[in-house]
Structure 1
């Protein structure tokens, strides 16, 4: 995967786009990876994969604990301080 600085990517944006059609291109800012430029079809493929793995709203609701389920953690054992008003 090719690496471009932000400045270099700005100056040669057409080259970044052309290179991204072949393989992902990393753009760095202050020497650290900031973004990855990928071909549109690869982006769509990744979005489809993400959507396929994501639980549906119904699955999330059904996964919520009910009153019959044991609590997920023990309560904290402390006494609140007294406050004067």
Structure 2
């Protein structure tokens, strides 16, 4: 059973890597982002999307830990 789970896991990671590779190869046109007066250098669209994905993957769990920790502290004491 472990062998089947390992094969399925490897295939899932491989498919995800191929999807990301296809996305990066399809989105090579350069863009400049402007936000609140800040401007970025011209880079491919995929760079901004992947950076946004990575930032979200880092911030999401941190917010979850913060909210969970805050709930534990504010729980009523008996």
TM-score if structure 1 supplies the norm length? 0.33
Query: Greater Rg, structure 1 or structure 2?
Result: 1
Relative contact order higher in (CA < 8 Å, ≥ 6 apart)? 1
Structure with the bigger percentage of helix: 2
TM-score if structure 2 supplies the norm length? 0.35
Structure with the bigger percentage of strand: 1
